Amino acid sequence: MSKAWRLVALLSVTATASYLCRVNVSVTSVMMMRELGLSQEAMGRIFSAFLLGYALCQIPGGMLADRFGAARVLGWAALAWVAATLWIAGAGAVLPMILAGRLLLGIAESPTFPAAARAIAAWIPAAQRGRANGFVIAAIGLGSAIAPPLLSFVMVRWGWRTALLVSAVPALAVAAAWMIVRPPATNEPATAVSAAKGLPRSRSFILLTISYTLQGYVGYIFVYWFFLYLVDVRHFDLMKSALLGAMPWLLSIVSIPLGGWLHDRFPHHRRLIPMIGLAGSGILIAAGAHTANAVFAVVCLALATALVLSVEGPFWATMTTIAGPRSGAAGGLMNMGSNLGGFISPALTPILATWLGWESALLVSAVLAIIAGALWFWIAPATDPETPATSVQTQPAA
């Protein structure tokens, strides 16, 4: 394995560590509410505080990666995750302190994926960036799968504060790793590094960001509402819902790298990967919402989630090709759009379900998924060959 791909593996571990710190409060919320006397509304504000800081600082976080390099920024960021988690664990029963800690954690985690995209743009040849991005983003599913059993085990035995501290240990290890690694030479052309500053303004980048925003709207429905949908609408018991609720994320561990591999394997048909993934997801959502068979609904919706997440690699790889040395800031803007979509959908979906019913609420997301796929008709995908060796810089990545 080359040095660049070893660092891609470290980027994947970093993504897993970031998700452990991100979702730890979701796991410990039951004990926190009981011990601190917090209401569901208060916990909702705690959850939202992270997303606010995370979404608003995507572009500044990406700009830092463009300016100082991904390795340095990720090392600083991981140390900040540890500090924010320690702050929350020691906050006591003071709600404003917990809110401040989660807000700071969101700000600290904002460079994670823009910096990873910047690193991949600098270290990995264009023909391999789909699978590289796919591996990094697939680590989200791993972090989401590890957190509930690990932190629940610790929480039951030693309390929720200890569980929070345990969740920060991988972040501390990641911070140490980034402090000592030396990035490889960049794969970008020497002329590209001195390209114009700012964000790309091409039609392809604008449509890419809109499509990713719609994809975020659809994806976050399954993050927040799939379990409750299984219990309240499809009437599975809690244990079956817990098992079935893991299906989309287990499938995503396969589907996300697969989408990136297909993007790289078929360079002249790259548009088809997100078109098929997003449109197929919309069709499956519509089928799952409409059927009266609860088991068939679960299968359809789980496959829909896997498909909507399978396009992550193509999105990020296409962004890096469009943005080049501005991939940090551009990735921040694109990811901010996804998180804004994710901010809207968890709140809007239950309102639509109350007014129109769950089938109609899910049909809205199905239509948006199909629109997100259709936008790729006008997005110029990355079809360029690998950068020739004669145009590769020899200095370390910025």
d(CA 100, CA 84): 9
Assess contact for 196 and 329: CB atoms under 8 A.
no
d(CA 90, CA 10): 29
Structure tokens belonging to residue 372: 């997100």
Higher-confidence position of 396 and 236: 236
pLDDT of 394 = 29
Higher-confidence position of 84 and 144: 84
d(CA 101, CA 88): 5
Dihedral angle, C-alpha 175, 181, 185, 189, nearest 10 °: 10
pLDDT of 393 = 33
DSSP assignment of 180-205 equals H--PPBP-SBHHHHTSPPS----HHH
Measured CA to CA in angstroms, residue 125 lies from 133, 239, 271, 386 at distances of: 12, 45, 19, 6
pLDDT of 188 = 53
d(CA 378, CA 367): 18
CATH classification of 3-187 is 1.20.1090.10, yes or no?
no
pLDDT of 318 = 93
- Span 201-225, pLDDT tens digits: 788 999 999 999 999 999 888 876 7
Assess contact for 183 and 119: CB atoms under 8 A.
yes
- Span 311-336, pLDDT tens digits: 999 999 999 888 888 888 898 999 99
Amino acid at 41: E
In the chain, residues under CATH classification 1.20.1250.20 are 3-187, 203-378
- Span 352-381, pLDDT tens digits: 888 999 999 999 999 999 999 999 999 986
pLDDT of 13 = 95
In which band, very low, low, confident or very high, does the pLDDT at 185 lie, cut at 50, 70 and 90? low
pLDDT at 340 over 70: yes
Helices 58-68 and 327-356 meet at what angle, rounded to 10? 160
pLDDT of 242 = 65
pTM score, whole prediction: 0.78
pLDDT of 39 = 81
pLDDT at 30 over 50: yes
pLDDT of 366 = 96
pLDDT of 58 = 92
pLDDT at 396 over 60: no
Closest Cα partner for 199 from 68, 73, 72, 63? 63
Measured CA to CA in angstroms, residue 251 lies from 67, 279, 306 at distances of: 36, 18, 6
Q: Tell me which fold the domain 203-378 belongs to.
A: Growth Hormone; Chain: A; (1.20.1250)
pLDDT of 192 = 40
pLDDT of 348 = 85
pLDDT of 395 = 31
- Span 263-298, pLDDT tens digits: 999 988 889 999 999 999 999 999 999 999 999 999
pLDDT of 95 = 87
Q: Average the pLDDT over each of 33-47, 297-311, 320-334 and give the range with the smallest value.
A: 33-47
